[in-house]
Amino acid sequence: MNSEFDHFMINVADETVIYAPTGDLIEIIRDHSNWVLWWPELTLDVYGDRGDKGLRWTVTGALVGSSEIWLESIDVASAGEVATIVHYYLRANPTRSGSEIHSRHSTNSAREQREIHKLRERHVVQWKRTVWALKDSLENSSV
């Protein structure tokens, strides 16, 4: 069975719950200066603004593809709090040497698979550090 994402070498999906209103999060996500800190090797260009529900970007730089942050507001009635599920997606390929917009061709070699695994892992760890820092900042500011 072929998925529409089979051709992406880097395919990251993550969900993190942050106990803060969606409006607080979207303000931070819309700030372009944060993008450079969160994804230093990437250039993001908004192609879909979903209002308080998040942003969709085209990605160029070290990777070429797309990324998205989708915010899902949830009511935690039992705790009397509002929370947001932050859904993060990155679907991309490494770029060719010397290019920021053309993806490199896959050889499917063992060496390339190791490189892709390390690259995917690096982006996952980088995102988790980013979203956990955001979570700590927002949740601790309301205490």
Domains and CATH numbers, the chain: 10-141 (3.30.530)
Average pLDDT (100-127) is 83
- How far is it, in rounded angstroms, from Cα 110 to Cα 89? 26
Predicted TM-score of the model (pTM): 0.85
CB 67 within 8 A of CB 60: no
Q: Which two tokens stand for residue 97?
A: 């040497």
- How far is it, in rounded angstroms, from Cα 25 to Cα 142? 13
- How far is it, in rounded angstroms, from Cα 3 to Cα 7? 8
User: At residue 143, does pLDDT exceed 70?
Assistant: no
Q: Which of 96, 139, 94 is nearest to 119 (CA)?
A: 94
Q: Which two tokens stand for residue 14?
A: 């993550």
Residue 3, pLDDT score: 40
Residue 134, pLDDT score: 95
Residues 86-113 pLDDT 10s: 999 999 998 877 766 767 667 777 887 8
In one-letter notation, the amino acid at residue 124 is V
Task: Quickly state the pLDDT bin for 140 (edges 50, 70, 90).
Answer: confident
Residues 16-28 pLDDT 10s: 999 999 999 999 9
Residues 39-91 pLDDT 10s: 999 999 999 999 999 999 999 998 999 999 999 998 776 666 789 999 999 99
| Other residues' Cβ atoms within 10 Å of the Cβ of residue 128 | 13
CA dihedral for 8, 128, 67, 99, sign (positive or negative): negative
